[in-house]
Amino acid sequence: MEPNLLIVLLGTCTITSYQPVPAQTKPECRDRYHCTTSIDDGITQYGAAVSQDFLKSGTVHYGDVLQIEGLGMRVVNDTMNKRHKKHVDLMVFSYAEEHKIGIQHRKVWVIRPEGAHK
């Protein structure tokens, strides 16, 4: 039996992107194959970091899927500096991808199985 999904609108969030390089992650990150996220997860093109306010409030959890208006789905596997609020940072692998995303403001939904994270 398939689980029922809970879909919750987080609101309009700031969307940016980052690459797995030392200046944007941590000193030991050299590239996508030699880097991990803040929770020691592997780097993936479908990964995303969220601002700590979402994690602290319990609105978003590691492993949740985000649907980002016009940009698709991403899995939460990283966090951002605490200075950011209502923010989602998408993992990318090139400057061209980073430049294309820039800074946007998009609606974001969190999708998870009903009853998860109680």
pTM of the model: 0.88
Q: Which of the 8 DSSP states describes residue 95? A: H
* 3-state SS record for 1-13: CCCCEEEEEEEEE
Q: What is the CATH number of domain 5-113?
A: 2.40.40.10
- Domain positions in the chain are 5-113
SS3 call for 97: helix
All residues at 6 or more sequence positions from 1 whose CB lies less than 8 Å from its CB, including other chains: none
Alpha carbon 27 to chain centroid, angstroms: 20
In tens, the pLDDT along 66-117 reads: 999 999 999 999 999 999 999 999 999 999 999 999 999 999 999 988 877 7
In tens, the pLDDT along 33-64 reads: 778 788 878 888 999 999 999 999 999 999 99
Residue type, 93: F
